[in-house]
Amino acid sequence: MVEHILEMQSITKSFPGVKALSGVSLAVERGEVHAICGENGAGKSTLMKVLSGVYPAGSYGGEILFKGQTCSFSGIRDSEHAGIVIIHQELALVPHLSIAENIFLGNERRGKSGLIDWHRTNAEAGVLLDSVGLREEPTTPVGQLGVGKQQLVEIAKALSKEVQLLILDEPTAALNDNDSAHLLGLVRDLRTRGITSIIISHKLNEIEAIADHTTVIRDGKTVETLDMADPDVNVDRIIRGMVGRDLEAFYPSRDSKPGEVVLRVEDWTVRHPTQDRLVVDQATFEVRAGEVIGIAGLMGAGRTELMMSIFGRSYGRYISGRVFMHGKETRTRTVAEAIEARIAYATEDRKAFGLNLIDDIARNISGAALGKLSSWGFVNHHEEAAAAEFAMKSMNIKAPNVRSIVGKLSGGNQQKVVLSKWLLTDPEVLILDEPTRGIDVGAKFEIYTLINSFVDAGKAVVVISSDLLELLGTCDRIYALSTGRITGELPAADATEERLMTLMTKDKELIA
Amino acid sequence: MTMTAPKGSQKGKASPPASVVTAGTSEIRELFTRNMRTSGIYVALVALVALFGVLTGGASLGPGNITNIVLQYSYILILAIGMVIVIIAGHIDLSVGSVVALTGAVSAVVVIQYGQPWWVGVIAALVTGLLIGAWHGYWVAYVGIPAFIVTLAGMLLFRGLTLVVLDNVSLSPFPAEYGQIASGFLNGLLGGAGYDVFTLVIFAIAVAGYAFSQYRTRKALISYNQLVPSFPLFIAKIVVVAVAVMTFAWQLATARGMPIVLIMLAILILAYSVVMQRSVFGRQVYAIGGNVVAAALSGVKVRTVNFWIFVNMGLLSALAGIVFSSRSNGAQPGAGNMFELDAIAAAFIGGAAVTGGVGKVAGAMAGGLIMAVMSNGMQLMGIDQSVQSVIKGLVLLLAVAFDIYNKRRAGSR
């Protein structure tokens, strides 16, 4: 009979205002590779944080059985002690320490005196490196290694803790093809050594190649667990599980009458700011007056990077590509030039990149349009206050007055402040990166209405969203992005979640 | 800016001031608790002045001593203006003491050794300050080295250059005209018996200007449906300020008249307050300190702004160097030692935030005056230098702790 090393039963987890998990169950057999799939925000990472004790016992509902025993971890140390190790997407290595020091960090090999035994540390690290197939000196600083090799160091670190259940969160998201292949080979190798792995990935081809079972999660619930040995189970089958929802009557309707092309971007290519890889590869797209286009892509596909690099080269190292406004090549090399060209970009992370949280509404709203509101270098206070007052009324921003501090507003109202700020620059193209992330349903509807009235006035909108339904509900056309490449373009009328997901998970080599 | 709780009626279109809010003890209490963070510093300053007035038996409030405080701490206040701008942008400048020494030394060499007129020395010092500021600005803004490191290097570098310029010896004395910068007075222009009418007239004009600008601000706020204090309270505030300022003016007028350096300081404070509160540049400084990424993504040229912040700091350091060399009537290799710490303390006591984005020129001035009144009062009382240092250190610590406590309380609400 099948022995389950891990059973998670009806796990629920809530955050203020959101139910992240509402009854996820997961059963993992000893010695298998078990994949977890789901859209962005489906609850995969939350589930793994529950399992590894990042969210301590008591902060979630449901039961976890590991090797038949109920677990109540109060932190990562507890779960690691039990033999569960999680390797996060953002690696937790100290770049200036050596490989050996990183492997034994918090778990140092000491001699009798209590001081660190460096011979033993380096020797044991060497053995571990051999077992993961990494040919580097244990004394090499981790920062000198590429991401792929760092990933292997993380696995060696896990092995040093006598791991029985290894959780890999998006392990290949930042890797090139060779490194990915090596990593997946290693996971197979660990299976033969009796180590069970859970792998979270958006790359469905990899999952098809490596997993024994796949559990699909959607909206915080387990949809199904698929046996990968079943000949009927393939990538399409997984996608169907990931998206199967109905389009709710949630999006205000709009008559779309696309006019002439406003913004056209050709062959846009951008390199990662520090690593030697392309984040955006030859992207070409256009948006017309009175049109909303969507950019669909999984995390790490390069959506935000594409838009931020166009908007004043605010991301990465530019390589090549051209931007046209109304058919004329336009310089957008600085944010000021992009604003001048009447492009606006509202960031996905309003708190970190979009707002000055310690300042008031009026000053935040005027922040990108001070040139218009000033003469001789001095801000016209009355015009500024009037503009902010108008924005508060027209956008229905709920706050005592325009001098209220932005940091104290709700997410939805903060987002409206960000939008007001960009509308004040009078843009022709409004790029909205995750415009409804973390805001409530009512505010979402208001923002969709706003998008509609903006394009009705003959302007153009680009929406980036992880929520495919949002794209289907608001856009006229949708571009799909996968690993930095535009893998397809669909009119919203023809698009379905399945078709988009297929394009979004298309790997490079599969592109004709 | 003071605000009180809305009474619901202020959403109306053209509601007269009287109906905007009602005056009363509850409003005053509200005013106090709400504005402790912004106006607490001024209350503390007034309290300290009163405290030392009592402790020194009135000596600290005497005409001679008031004049002294102005002359003695003017250069710290000049430095604090530049420093608070640097701190609002999220930086720090540790070099200003050395820059004061170097610019004073350059001026002394030009005027004393080469016998040039006083204004040539002033210009030489200002140019030196500008170049030093550009040097710091280049490394901070364009190379991206933290200001702490750049200005720590500058502190050593410019102290060393001071020794080189002065050839390790003090230079003195300056010609009499140069001494006028820091120790000169404008008096007797309009006569007066036992008191200087000119001084009183200048201060009266200033008070009238203050009252008028407050009134205009209030009117503008009301027209934009903003919250304002009730009219009686508004008048009370202006009367209190007017009485305090005119008392101060009377004390100056009965001593030696209007110090030239005070006029200079007043112009600087006014100009920089306007720049920081009203100009696009000032806005961008606050934006950079509040959230540098958001500022950059809003089109602020972060590097350019940072560069000019340091150029300005260099210029003001040179000005302080001129005033200090004028007051000490010469240039010494050790001049300006620890001035940076006084200027930094003034900015932080005056409500600037360590994390940037918060602070006001007026607050830094109040912070500087708190340090000045304390030092001066303790000197008058004959308190030992070591004890003075301990007390000043504790005041700085407590002021920032109070600020952080207030912020945490505000955040938890």
Q: What are the tens digits of pLDDT across the range B126-167?
A: 999 999 999 999 999 999 999 999 999 999 999 999 999 999
What phi and psi values does residue A45 have, to the nearest 5 degrees?
Answer: -65, -40
- Structure confidence at residue B27 as a pLDDT band (50, 70, 90): low
- The predicted-structure confidence for A393-443, as pLDDT tens digits, reads as follows 888 888 888 888 888 887 788 899 999 999 999 999 999 998 887 776 667
- Structure confidence at residue B296 as a pLDDT band (50, 70, 90): very high
Q: Give A142 to chain B, closest Cα distance, Å.
A: 24
- The predicted-structure confidence for B350-405, as pLDDT tens digits, reads as follows 888 888 888 999 999 999 999 999 989 998 898 998 998 899 899 888 888 877 77
pLDDT of the residue at A446: 84
CA angle B133/B137/B138 to nearest 5° reads 120
- Mean pLDDT, residues A218-245 taken together: 81
- Residue appearing with tokens 């004709």: A512
More confident residue, B207 or B186: B207
Paired strand residues for A196: A165
Contact A356 B357 (CB under 8 A): yes
Q: Which one of B3, B278, B293 has the shortest CB-CB distance to A378? A: B278
- The predicted-structure confidence for B279-292, as pLDDT tens digits, reads as follows 999 999 999 999 99
Cα of B264 vs its chain's centroid, Å: 12
Best mutation target among A305, A331, A401 (most B Cβ atoms within 10 Å) is: A401
Residues in A touching B280 (Cβ below 8 Å): 370-371, 374, 377-379
- Structure confidence at residue B325 as a pLDDT band (50, 70, 90): very high
Is the predicted pLDDT of residue B347 greater than 70, yes or no?
A: yes
| Cα A46 from Cα A169, distance rounded (Å) | 11
pLDDT of the residue at B17: 40
Residues in A touching B299 (Cβ below 8 Å): 312, 334-336, 338-339, 368
Is the predicted pLDDT of residue A86 greater than 60, yes or no?
A: yes
- The predicted-structure confidence for A39-59, as pLDDT tens digits, reads as follows 766 788 888 889 988 888 888
Residues A66/A82, Cβ–Cβ less than 8 Å: yes
| Cα A354 from Cα B237, distance rounded (Å) | 38
Least confident piece of the model among A341-355, A399-413, A479-493: A399-413
Residues B88/B357, Cβ–Cβ less than 8 Å: yes
pLDDT of the residue at B107: 95
| Cα A314 from Cα A310, distance rounded (Å) | 8
Counts for chain B of helices (H) and strands (E), in that order: 17, 2
Contact B299 A359 (CB under 8 A): no
pLDDT of the residue at B244: 87
Least confident piece of the model among A11-15, A287-291, B96-100, B335-339: A11-15
- Structure confidence at residue A267 as a pLDDT band (50, 70, 90): very high
More confident residue, A288 or A113: A288
- Mean pLDDT, residues A171-181 taken together: 77
| Cα A447 from Cα A415, distance rounded (Å) | 9
- Mean pLDDT, residues A111-129 taken together: 89
Q: Which residues of B touch A (CB under 8 A)?
A: 1, 3, 6, 220, 224-227, 274, 278-281, 283-284, 286-287, 290-291, 293-301, 353, 357-358
Q: Give A371 to chain B, closest Cα distance, Å.
A: 8
Residues in A touching B297 (Cβ below 8 Å): 311-312, 314, 335, 345, 347, 353-354
Is the predicted pLDDT of residue A246 greater than 50, yes or no?
A: no
Residues in A touching B293 (Cβ below 8 Å): 352-353
| Cα A202 from Cα A190, distance rounded (Å) | 21
Q: Which one of A311, A357, A379 has the shortest CB-CB distance to B283? A: A379
CA angle A320/A325/A330 to nearest 5° reads 50
C-alpha distances out from residue A493 to A66, A75, A246, A499, B183, Å: 47, 48, 15, 12, 81
Q: Outline where DSSP puts E strands in A380-441.
A: 429-433
Mean pLDDT of chain A: 86
Q: Please tell me the number of Cα atoms within 13 Å of A58 on its side-chain side.
A: 4
Is the predicted pLDDT of residue B168 greater than 80, yes or no?
A: yes
pLDDT of the residue at B228: 73
pLDDT of the residue at A508: 52
Q: Which one of B3, B293, B353 has the shortest CB-CB distance to A353? A: B293
Best mutation target among B4, B224, B305, B354 (most A Cβ atoms within 10 Å) is: B224
Q: The pTM is what?
A: 0.77
C-alpha distances out from residue A33 to A3, A83, A169, A186, A204, Å: 14, 16, 13, 12, 14
- Among the listed residues B161, B165, B155, the one whose alpha carbon sits nearest the alpha carbon of residue B108: B165
pLDDT of the residue at A382: 83
pLDDT of the residue at B307: 97
Handedness of CA A387, A390, A395, A397 (dihedral sign): positive
Joined together, the tokens standing for residue A143 give 């920062």
| Cα A92 from Cα A96, distance rounded (Å) | 12
- Structure confidence at residue A171 as a pLDDT band (50, 70, 90): confident
Q: How many residues does chain B have?
A: 413
Least confident piece of the model among A152-156, A341-345, B41-45: B41-45
Residues B261/B70, Cβ–Cβ less than 8 Å: yes
Is the predicted pLDDT of residue A247 greater than 60, yes or no?
A: no
Q: Which one of B220, B225, B358 has the shortest CB-CB distance to A358? A: B358
- Mean pLDDT, residues A168-179 taken together: 78
pLDDT of the residue at A92: 81
- Structure confidence at residue A469 as a pLDDT band (50, 70, 90): confident
pLDDT of the residue at A17: 56
Write the ipTM. Answer: 0.77
- Structure confidence at residue A287 as a pLDDT band (50, 70, 90): very high
pLDDT of the residue at B186: 81
Give the residue from chain A lying closest to B4, CA to CA.
A400
Is the predicted pLDDT of residue B219 greater than 70, yes or no?
A: yes
Whole-number percent of chain B with pLDDT over 70: 88
Q: Which one of A338, A374, A386 has the shortest CB-CB distance to B280? A: A374
Whole-number percent of chain B with pLDDT over 90: 49
More confident residue, B408 or B251: B251
Residues in A touching B284 (Cβ below 8 Å): 370
Residues A180/A146, Cβ–Cβ less than 8 Å: no
DSSP 8-state class, residue A3 = P
- The predicted-structure confidence for A192-206, as pLDDT tens digits, reads as follows 988 999 998 877 888
Interface of A with B in 325-344 (CB under 8 A): 334-336, 338-339
C-alpha distances out from residue B57 to A27, B49, B51, B69, B245, Å: 83, 12, 10, 17, 21
| Cα A40 from Cα A498, distance rounded (Å) | 15
Best mutation target among B213, B298, B303 (most A Cβ atoms within 10 Å) is: B298
Q: How many residues does chain A have?
A: 512
Best mutation target among A308, A314, A356, A357 (most B Cβ atoms within 10 Å) is: A356
pLDDT of the residue at B9: 38
Angle formed by the axes of helices B118-137 and B302-327, to 10°? 150
Q: Give A349 to chain B, closest Cα distance, Å.
A: 10
| Cα A68 from Cα A6, distance rounded (Å) | 8
pLDDT of the residue at A318: 78
Residues in B touching A379 (Cβ below 8 Å): 278-280, 283
- Structure confidence at residue B21 as a pLDDT band (50, 70, 90): very low
- A288 contact partners, CB below 8 Å, separation of at least 6: A258, A259, A260, A261, A262, A460
Q: Give B69 to chain A, closest Cα distance, Å.
A: 34
